[in-house]
Amino acid sequence: MTVSEAIKLRRSVHSYDPTKKVSDEQIRQLIELSTLAPSSFNLNHWRFIVVTSDEGKKKLHENSLNQRHLLDAGAVLIVLGKIDAHLDVGLFVDDWIEKGYYPDDNHLNIVSSKFYGLRPSVQRDEAIRSTSIMTGIMLLAAVEMGLSTAPVIGFHFDKVMEAFDIPENYVPVMLMTVGYEKTPMPPRVKRLGFEDICYKENFGKPIE
Ligand SMILES: Cc1cc2nc3c(=O)[nH]c(=O)nc-3n(C[C@H](O)[C@H](O)[C@H](O)COP(=O)(O)O)c2cc1C
């Protein structure tokens, strides 16, 4: 399967076959593939809570506008972004230097203390931005693995944080349902056209 085939096949599935499970090995493979994604300064902002139990899915369902697909999916991933991931720079410094990217830890310490350190809104944006890029890759990796997915943002953030003991330095970026489609999807909903979303050289200047 080519990447463009995966892009065209991917849909947000809302009707899962509840009898079809997703194995721990499949989830591991999916996460390991997806986290080859880029992240700002390679800080690996993403974290996951893998929910496959009926009890766990019920807790999510109750706090997610009762969206049925959260119960029927084989697994639901609570995808988190670490807001203070810049403090983890020390986990990566030796690797960067050993592989010849930087001569010493000076640059990376500046990143940690200056670029992110004093800017809480940028920290949060980055946790969401880098983690979201990873989830985009996850959607395509899942297609190649024969799995269906849907990103879900319709949930009560605070209640999910509390119900799953998520610390305050993490932002719930989205839920991701993973499973096997039960009924075929209707045609894809429309997209804005190229001319509607692209400008040339300056905002507002139409592209030919
Ligand atoms: C960040 C994000 C959050 C979403 N949240 C929900 C959701 O809570 N419930 C839902 O049914 N679909 C959700 N969707 C799916 C969108 O409705 C879907 O992507 C869109 O209608 C386009 O359809 P397609 O993904 O099949 O191309 C979400 C998609 C994204 C990217």
In a domain, 208, yes or no: no
CA triple 101-128-7, angle to 5 deg: 85
In a domain, 203, yes or no: no
CA of 88 to the centre of ligand 1 (A): 32
Spatial CB neighbours of 88, under 8 Å, sequence gap ≥ 6: 43, 44, 82
Tell me which residues have their CB closer than 6 angstroms to ligand 1.
Answer: 11-12, 14, 67, 150-154, 174, 188-189
pLDDT at residue 208 in the model: 76
Q: How many domains does the chain fold into?
A: 1
CA of 207 to the centre of ligand 1 (A): 28
CA of 55 to the centre of ligand 1 (A): 24
pLDDT at residue 192 in the model: 97
Where does residue 163 rank: exposed (0-12), middle (13-18), buried (19+ CB within 10 A)? middle
In a domain, 114, yes or no: yes
pLDDT at residue 70 in the model: 96
In a domain, 134, yes or no: yes
- DSSP secondary structure letters along 27-83: HHHHHHHHTTS--GGG---EEEEEE-SHHHHHHHHHTTTT-THHHHSSEEEEEEEET
Say what the alpha-carbon torsion angle 193, 196, 197, 199 is, to the nearest 10 degrees: 130
CA of 151 to the centre of ligand 1 (A): 6
Mean pLDDT, rounded, for 158-177: 98
pLDDT at residue 117 in the model: 80
Q: What is the CATH number of the domain that holds 77?
A: 3.40.109.10
In a domain, 206, yes or no: no
Q: What is the CA radius of gyration of the chain?
A: 19
In a domain, 204, yes or no: no
Which residue minimizes the CA distance to atom 13 of ligand 1?
152
Looking from the CA of residue 132, the nearest atom of ligand 1 is 1
Instruction: Report the alpha-carbon distance of residue 81 to residue 127 in Å, rounded.
Output: 5
As given in the structure block, the two tokens for residue 48 are: 């996951």
Instruction: Report the alpha-carbon distance of residue 29 to residue 51 in Å, rounded.
Output: 16
116: which DSSP letter? I
In a domain, 131, yes or no: yes
In a domain, 66, yes or no: yes
Kindly report whether the global pTM for this prediction surpasses the value 0.85. yes
Find the domain containing 185 and state its range: 3-197
pLDDT at residue 46 in the model: 98
- Checking if the pLDDT of 86 tops 80, the result is yes
Which residue minimizes the CA distance to atom 21 of ligand 1?
189
Among 9, 10, 12, name the best residue to mutate to test ligand 1's pocket (greatest count of ligand atoms within 8 A of Cβ). 12
pLDDT in tens, 91-147: 998 998 999 988 888 877 777 777 888 888 999 999 999 999 999 999 999 999 999
Spatial CB neighbours of 56, under 8 Å, sequence gap ≥ 6: 76
CA of 14 to the centre of ligand 1 (A): 9
